[in-house]
Amino acid sequence: MKKRIIIITIFIAALVPAGYVADRYLSRPDRIRLDAERERLENARNAILMFTKDNARFPADLAELVPGYASEELLMFQPDIRKTAMEPLLWRPETGLLSWRSPLVVHGLLSRTELVSFEIPHLQVERDPISAENVFRQTPDQILLGAGDIIIEAELFQFMTYGWEIGEDQDASGQCYIHIREGTGDVTDGKDVDGFYVGGVEFDPEIRSGDFYNVGGDRRRIEARCYFMAPREGNYFVSVRTMSGPLHCSQAWALSINSGGHRADSGGAPFIWFWRTSGQLHVKKGLNYMSFVTHQDDVKIDQVLLTLQKPDLPGAVRRTFKGGHGVRILLPDSIPPVTMSLRASTLSISAGDDPQMAVFLRNNVLDDINATLNTSLDLPDGRRRERSYDIALTSAEILTKLPESLDLPRPLAMKEYTLRCELVVDSRVIQERTIVLFREYDWSVLGPLPFMKVEQSEAPEADEPLQDTYTFGGKSVRWLKYREEFTDYFCIMDFGRMFSGRKFDGMSDVSLYACTEVEAATGGRYLLKAQGDDNLVVWVNGERVVTIDAKGPPIRTARETEIDLKAGRNRILFRLNQKAGQWQAGIRIRTIDDQIADVTGVPFDEQTIDFYGNEK
């Protein structure tokens, strides 16, 4: 009897892990579908938020989102792919609840169900523009801190590398914030402890994905740093008021104090200022410094709250705290008396108006300071247009904004223009910044086409010359002119906008080809900077030079590759695949050392191949 019990026990012990493995195997397709459907529901939530941001109200029903914000397909859901039909998502505008109508069925040894929903808060929409000399203004309804607590205004950080910039929002404390538009992954996720990340490790500085659009990136860690005084030593709870972009994976920030372990956390829904408390960091009495580094891009930071007791902070609220306006402290010599930040309305140059530019100056020493701002704009034939401004900063003006007029020379003879700014105090250059503005080449686009694998080959890749039309899936497709109105802030081509009118829910399981011609003043080696979401393959004069098979936003899939161009005309062709979400690509050609190259785009009506006949 005892022997039988032992045998049964061994059998059951062996059966349990075998059953677990079998269940994981049988349920894998549905588990993969669960992750994909959860992401689709997030994209539907983002579409509602974008509609609300534009219209200052919730959509009355989901049909209002079509076609400008979402496709009909995105707003449907199939609970059981084996037994049930597609059904519309459940949307209750009176409560802001978005969910599946029925739970998703996961089939395994034992079937189970998963139900996902989102509670979407009402957005606070502010439409009035801000313009003032002293742009740091605290509102009278802010809440005072408790004794020993510390509040820091993000826009008053004393040190910011390229990548971080100051922006304005009437719903932000002080009506300003800092924003990391570009770059990701300077610090890894680290270890998940109690729901937040601890001890993130810095990546190899030679493989950063930030500083991609600028010229001659210096590979420094992209960082925003603030020095502050603490009344006592202790472990402080860290709370950050943050806002993310519309992508589900662009909501994370990473923070450290005095070079200690990084806390990386995410917060809230897109477009909403949201308080998030992410554990404790040690603060010493006296002078400390806090650093934000890039974990993911497109994150805005408004305020940082350090408290000895865990604060009771509701998430999506207008609540801000009084203070954080800066005190006189002895700063390290590495911190300049004035910090400069540049902000552009767009880095994309169009045939119409110039981008709007602003220079923000943060008075770090809270004294009267005389400074000089020198700006120069690179022009064709090696010329520069230079300007100089004398600026008197008073001790009362903590943060000052200066408009800068670009006045680009029209017609535009170059594809890239570099604006260089230097700040001079006491005859010494204390800070330099550059912004590169780009105008897209004249691209012809063949699509949308059936989805193609990265390794697949089709006729346009080998044809010389290219044909006016091609047949894919029994359908004849002609080349179309890409228009600059589809291009985003970074001058990334958005084919979701081109073919569906939407950016974040473009099309699914499709591909396209795009081609253009560029003119090189001299033959030789150049640097090709390529980006693609989802997969990108690039050919230069018929030679395959770049393959991006990673799925992700353009900045996270960016590649730099040396290529050969011949003097005169060169043909650039790329194929861009699309599974879901955004459908974007970017191509730039620079010198080998990542400076502006003497390579110009050939206009449609001067290109060798005439796809458009009388439409030129």
Q: Is 44 helix (H, G, I), strand (E, B) or coil?
A: helix
Q: How far apart are CA 106 and CA 433, in angstroms?
A: 53
Q: Where in the chain is the domain with CATH 2.60.120.260?
A: 125-335
| Residue of 541, 534, 551 whose CA lies nearest to 589 | 541
> Which tokens hold the place of 189?
């996720």
Q: What is the pLDDT of residue 447?
A: 92
> Which tokens hold the place of 506?
């473009």
* Contact predicate 573/446, CB 8 Å: no
Q: What residues form DSSP beta bridges with 592?
A: none
What are the Cα distances from residue 278, in Å, to 244, 266, 304?
Answer: 16, 9, 11
* Contact predicate 274/267, CB 8 Å: yes
* Contact predicate 496/461, CB 8 Å: no
Q: What is the pTM of this model?
A: 0.80
Residue type present at position 568: G
Across the chain, which has 616 residues, the per-10-residue mean pLDDT values are 62 63 81 86 86 84 90 88 85 92 87 88 46 42 67 87 86 86 56 42 53 72 85 90 71 79 62 82 91 77 88 70 64 86 91 89 88 90 88 86 87 88 94 91 95 89 90 92 92 93 84 96 95 92 92 80 96 93 92 92 89 58
444-615 belongs to CATH 2.60.120.380:
yes
Q: Is 338 helix (H, G, I), strand (E, B) or coil?
A: strand
Q: CATH for 125-335, among 2.40.30.110, 2.70.150.10, 2.60.120.260, 3.20.20.70?
A: 2.60.120.260
Q: Where in the chain is the domain with CATH 2.60.40.10?
A: 349-439
Q: How far apart are CA 448 and CA 576, in angstroms?
A: 10
Residue type present at position 468: D
**DSSP structure string for 527-559:** EEEEEEESEEEEEETTEEEEEE---S-GGGS-E
Q: Quick one: how far is CA 581 from the chain centroid?
A: 14
Q: What is the pLDDT of residue 324?
A: 61
Residue type present at position 417: Y
Q: What is the pLDDT of residue 251?
A: 63
What are the Cα distances from residue 434, in Å, to 357, 425, 561?
Answer: 12, 18, 23
* Contact predicate 567/526, CB 8 Å: no
CATH number for the domain formed by residue range(s) 349-439: 2.60.40.10
* Contact predicate 438/416, CB 8 Å: yes
Q: How far apart are CA 188 and CA 209, in angstroms?
A: 13
Q: How far apart are CA 248 and CA 266, in angstroms?
A: 10
Q: How many residues are recorded in the chain?
A: 616
Give the DSSP H or E segment for 599.
Answer: strand 599-601
* Contact predicate 584/531, CB 8 Å: yes
Q: Where in the chain is the domain with CATH 2.60.120.380?
A: 444-615
CB-based contacts of 29, cutoff 8 Å, min separation 6:
none
Give the DSSP H or E segment for 477.
Answer: strand 475-481
Q: How far apart are CA 532 and CA 555, in angstroms?
A: 9
Q: What is the pLDDT of residue 616?
A: 39
* Contact predicate 486/445, CB 8 Å: no
Residue type present at position 132: A
| Residue of 112, 90, 119 whose CA lies nearest to 102 | 90
